[in-house]
Structure 1
Amino acid sequence: MAPPVKILVLQFASIGNVVLTTPVVRCLKKQLPNVEVHYCTKDAYRSIIAYNPHIAKSHYLTGSVYTLIRQLRAERFDYVIDLQNNVATNVIKLALGARSYSIERQSVRQWLYVRWKVNALPDQHIVDRYMATVQSLGVENDGRGLDYFIPYKDEVELDWLPLTHQPNFVAYAIGGQSLTRRLPVRRMIELCRKINYPIVLLGDKADRKAGEEIVRAIGGKQIYNACGHFNLNQSASLLQRARVVFSHDTGLMHIAAAFGKKVYSIWGSTTPQFGFYPYKTPHTRLENSGLGCRPCSATGPDNCPMKHFKCMNNLSFDFDVKELRTRKKNFE
């Protein structure tokens, strides 16, 4: 029997970016004969890919890129799929010497959009751009959306939550990669009051202080601050159980999309036009689209360049969460 064709997928950028590459991994594995898919990312994202059944072996950047390259060379890959295409991934591709396929960068178009507000970006989700990278291998998008696999040990039981949040709750991912990608705490409080439903706040330890402020303002009967209490897979399990998900532009938004949840996505300094909105799932975008200063960067700065932060401070909460209105009546 012929040895398997070994393919390495590269993506180091963020939790969200790694989740958004899962359709590529699945389609490579299911559509190519006798293929072995390997994945390389940062050690911090290990839990996202460690339980993916379509990945034969994972490789993690834990120190020097050159130490990682020595490990990867031993695998003798036939192809490298570079879904980031930056300096580090180009060094890895050059060192491995395998035939490679790389996502097309949009740096100039992003600069035009940020600097001059000229949107020449393709009207295309980043997942479809990732899939275009492997099209010449005969791999097509199967349309099944994103994947996220939770090991049994990380599945959160309902009785881990307060009685007030069993069995129905809204998940709100309050974190964000930068300050301008998340609402100020006073506006988070306003949003939670608007939702008016038992809410589980999700985030890491850095988000816990904001969660505590929200609990103090609204009360523990409506708000459960889970920030910092659960690991990433456990937070994903809570997203899977939630009725509806509210999220800033962050990785948990994409994990919620992997479970097909209705997502209310909240946009500040960044915009959905960059192609990172919830994929293949019902979603409503909450954004202040009338501002001429948006976007102020492709990834979001820590401070508003205009000093007014109107994208979040003036964001309207004039919306109706119909899913909660119907279900709340049914479950009363």
Structure 2
Amino acid sequence: MKASPKHILVIRLSALGDVAMTVPVLRALLDQNPEVHLTVLTRPFFKPLFRDIDRLDVIEAEVNSKHKGVFGLYRLARQLNRTHKFYAIADLHNVLRTQILKPFLRCKRVVTIDKGRNEKKALTKGLNFKKLKSTHQRYADVFNALSFRVDLKQAVFPKSEALSQKILSRTGEKEGPWIGIAPFAAHEGKMYPPDQMKMVIAELSKTYKILLFGGGNDEAKRLQSWTETFENTVNLAENLSLEEQLDVISNLDVMLSMDSGNGHLAAMYGVKVITVWGVTHPFAGFAPFDQPEDYALLADREKYPKIPTSVYGNKYPEGYERAAGSIPPKAIIQKIESALAD
């Protein structure tokens, strides 16, 4: 007799990189537990991240409008209770909003992620500089606590997506390696200095097709100026939806990213991801999924001994703004070429 599906509500509302980090974990969970069905509760913008995953549905939490505040969350819970009967709830976010929502839901089997806040505080205060558990493993631990096996070493990745004529009209047909470069991050201390990034692009674009990723008018303008300066360089920061950008990312051979969301988007597809770290550090657990440790290029801690200054890069001492610049452009170029040769 076939066992009834175990329907789990997975909650992760933001941010882009953190939501992207759930994807390889959820793929592994579903692959290794055929009795499981998932419903992911997240923001509408993130829905394309979960496309084409069997036995997974997405419910959109509109937390800035109809699901805003306590009454909005109660309205959301009533909707979920009316349309679903959950075997368990996996809270992968663990913030005030999810703490308010969960008691409204009709499900007694609830496990909440342990974010290791005290360990991360000790790391950023310089009290204990050691490698912490990865965020991916923290997600997996939630499902393990629900008695579902999740072995991240047995992860599965989707195939690269077919590219539309709209995309190909900008990128051209793929005739050699494609290198994605996402040079921006939410905070200046996490970014590689633009003058040094231009040196990286100038050298790589002599041999490879460079696809530039970003968002917002200011970023798009800067990328457009680089596109006009360097050969074999394409600006993808404008007029592409998230779904279309994911199509392109799935076809990359290497992604060069800061400690930011684009690195996690590429890792979802098993793309090689080279990351540049400024005032943050991979020891906090936010390195892209399934990447070799030496793919993370680190700022000089002898010159900047307070790194990591914070978990998210939003706090750093004066003078740390260009910490990532202590990584020579030549080191980035060599690491990318080495990854392409592997």
- TM category (shorter chain) comes to 0.7 to 0.9
Distance 2:30 2:89 in 1: 14
From 312, 329, 333, the counterpart of 1:299: 312
Change (3 A) 1:222 1:36: closer
From 235, 242, 252, the counterpart of 1:225: 235
Q: Does 1:289 align with 2:297?
A: no
Question: In structure 2, what is the equivalent of residue 29 of structure 1?
Answer: 30
Distance 1:279 1:258 in 2: 7
Change (3 A) 1:199 1:27: closer
Question: In structure 2, what is the equivalent of residue 110 of structure 1?
Answer: 120
The SS at the match of 1:318 is: helix
Superposed, 1:1-332 pairs within 5 Å as: 4-32=5-33, 34-55=35-56, 57-62=57-62, 63=65, 64=67, 65-74=73-82, 75-98=84-107, 99-114=109-124, 116-119=125-128, 123-136=132-145, 137-145=147-155, 147=157, 158-162=168-172, 166-196=175-205, 197-206=208-217, 207-216=219-228, 218-219=229-230, 221-282=231-292, 284-290=295-301, 291-301=304-314, 304-319=316-331, 320-321=333-334, 324=337
Distance 1:149 1:48 in 2: 14
The SS at the match of 2:250 is: helix
Say if 2:280 and 2:311, in contact at 8 Å, map to a contact too: yes
Shift of 1:270: 1.3
More deviation in 288-297 or 120-129? Answer: 120-129
The SS at the match of 2:212 is: strand
Shift of 1:174: 2.2
Distance 2:159 2:308 in 1: 33
5+ unaligned residues in a row in structure 1: which ranges? Answer: none
- Root-mean-square deviation (CA, aligned residues, Å) is 2.9
Specify the code of the residue in structure 2 equivalent to 1:59: I
Amino-acid identity (%): 21
Deviations 1:39-78 (A, max 9, x none): 10111211112432230x2111113233322222221322
Change (3 A) 1:274 1:155: farther
When normalised by structure 1's length, the TM-score is 0.84
Specify the code of the residue in structure 2 equivalent to 1:212: Q
Distance 1:95 1:154 in 2: 43
5+ unaligned residues in a row in structure 2: which ranges? Answer: 68-72
The SS at the match of 2:153 is: coil
Number of equivalent positions: 322
Q: Structure 1: which 4+ aligned runs deviate by more than 4 Å?
A: 146-159, 325-328
Distance 1:16 1:322 in 2: 23
Distance 2:196 2:33 in 1: 48
When normalised by structure 2's length, the TM-score is 0.82
Specify the code of the residue in structure 2 equivalent to 1:69: A
Say if 1:50 and 1:58, in contact at 8 Å, map to a contact too: no
Shift of 1:261: 2.2
Specify the code of the residue in structure 1 equivalent to 2:309: C
Distance 1:242 1:153 in 2: 12
Shift of 1:36: 2.4
Shift of 1:22: 2.2
Change (3 A) 1:32 1:148: closer
